[in-house]
Amino acid sequence: MHQRLEGRRGAESAHPSVYASAEASSPATERAPAPARSAAELAAAALRSEKPDLRKDAPASVIGAGISGAWQALLLARAGRKVTLYERGDSAMTQATSHWAGGMLAPYCEAEGAEPMVGEMGLRSLEMWRKEFPETAFNGSLVVAHPRDRADFERFAKMTTGHKRLDADGVAELEPALAGRFREGLYFPDEGHVEPRLVLAQLHKRLIEAGGTILFESEMTPEDLDGLVIDCRGMAARDKAPELRGVKGEMVVIKTAEVTLSRPVRLMHPRWPLYVIPRENNHFMLGATTVESEDELVMVRSALELLSAAYAVHPAFGEAHIVEIGAGLRPAFPDNLPRIAIGNRRIATNGLYRHGFLLAPALAEKMLNYVERGEIDNQVMRCL
């Protein structure tokens, strides 16, 4: 067990306010008299206004070793800070949503249903992933549809950029296992994917190589810690961000040596984009549903749809073995956009929703730019 440290006021820092309050701009005469506040309310307000401790020699603590915390801790350590990453679970990371993710890095495909900032930050993240894992093949992604879903396919093509249209021969050339199965496809050559469980472990290892420390089975709250505190607790941060909600994503892992794919294959589906992602050792991840529910159980209908999607991509998946079925809760704000909140003696990064792997490196870079140089990005940062 590590020592529990007493809380301390953060050092005063140049802490620009992102949004001027509407109240401040209204004439004083029109304002209602402020209600008297109790001592407890005043103390809470004082605590809220405390700035994070940005001094270079202050210890930096990151809470939560999912994909967000892992990248934030690594960049802070590489910037020369003394970093400790705290994780309540063990090194298997099964308590993290990141454990259940597909690891698709698909800024172009995601543009179909997400704000432009997701695509922009996603492109920056892709660069960072490529630099961090140069040995990983970022092979693009392929979108296919059966004739009955052709209208959805055309709509998807119109809503996205960065793709090349392929005919049946083009699909077969790209993925020989799919020869004769689809009349056309959309190839997004600049996309990629990573294996979440492998890269999480590698990022943790690189944190230690960069001089940082990681403590598993160490549950922390921001109040427990001194110095610079970065809160990356995902869904568990609802005590500080009550508007966070969990959006269930269900997935299945299957195994077969009968099919070989070199990149994720997305199949048009009327309800959600379903994809088959090749993983090491003949494993394939089938994902993912998007359900407004906060239980972490897999519905029969979802499992049927995921397995049917694989079967529709290639019938040999019908002979595959089921290795794992699971679900995770994606932490999401009401606008489904990520947020870096600065204040309450901490910096909190959350709301990565469907895009944790796509956005984590770029968000970590923005956090670092704020910590090192006070740079504010109005798109994602909120000062409390």
User: Interface residues with ligand FAD (CB under 6 A)?
Assistant: 63-69, 86-89, 93, 95-98, 100-104, 219-221, 232-234, 236, 249, 251, 287-288, 328, 330-331, 352-358
Integer Cα distance of 158 and 177 in angstroms: 27
Least separation, in Å, of the C-beta of 93 and ligand FAD? 6
Q: Are the CB atoms for 249 and 313 separated by under 8 Å?
A: no
Q: Residue 229 has which token pair?
A: 């505190």
In this complex, which beta carbon is closest to ligand FAD, that of residue 42 or of residue 208?
208
The dihedral through the CA atoms of 72, 93, 95, 134 has a sign that is positive
In this complex, which beta carbon is closest to ligand FAD, that of residue 145 or of residue 289?
289
Residue with tokens 């969990």: 246
Q: Residue 59 has which token pair?
A: 């210890």
Least separation, in Å, of the C-beta of 215 and ligand FAD? 9
Integer Cα distance of 284 and 316 in angstroms: 12
In this complex, which beta carbon is closest to ligand FAD, that of residue 40 or of residue 251?
251
In this complex, which beta carbon is closest to ligand FAD, that of residue 66 or of residue 278?
66
Q: Are the CB atoms for 245 and 238 separated by under 8 Å?
A: no
In this complex, which beta carbon is closest to ligand FAD, that of residue 57 or of residue 333?
333
In this complex, which beta carbon is closest to ligand FAD, that of residue 173 or of residue 335?
335
Integer Cα distance of 104 and 99 in angstroms: 13
Integer Cα distance of 31 and 24 in angstroms: 10
Least separation, in Å, of the C-beta of 200 and ligand FAD? 8
Least separation, in Å, of the C-beta of 173 and ligand FAD? 25
Least separation, in Å, of the C-beta of 140 and ligand FAD? 14
- Nearest residue (beta carbon) to ligand FAD: 66
CA distances from residue 319 to 67, 184, 257, 329 in whole angstroms, order as listed: 33, 25, 10, 30
Beta strands in 297-353 (DSSP E): 321-332, 339-343, 346-350
Integer Cα distance of 71 and 16 in angstroms: 25
Q: Residue 45 has which token pair?
A: 């307000």
In this complex, which beta carbon is closest to ligand FAD, that of residue 53 or of residue 302?
302
Q: What is the CA radius of gyration of the chain?
A: 23
Least separation, in Å, of the C-beta of 30 and ligand FAD? 42
Half-sphere CA count of 296, side-chain side, radius 13 A:
13
Q: Residue 152 has which token pair?
A: 């959805």
Least separation, in Å, of the C-beta of 190 and ligand FAD? 16
Q: Are the CB atoms for 225 and 61 separated by under 8 Å?
A: yes
Least separation, in Å, of the C-beta of 63 and ligand FAD? 5
Least separation, in Å, of the C-beta of 165 and ligand FAD? 24
Of 264, 252, 7, nearest in space to 139 by CA? 264
Least separation, in Å, of the C-beta of 179 and ligand FAD? 26
Q: Are the CB atoms for 157 and 210 separated by under 8 Å?
A: no
In this complex, which beta carbon is closest to ligand FAD, that of residue 168 or of residue 215?
215
In this complex, which beta carbon is closest to ligand FAD, that of residue 192 or of residue 315?
192
Q: 202 φ, ψ to 5°? A: -70, -40
Integer Cα distance of 354 and 356 in angstroms: 6
Coil, strand, or helix at residue 104? strand
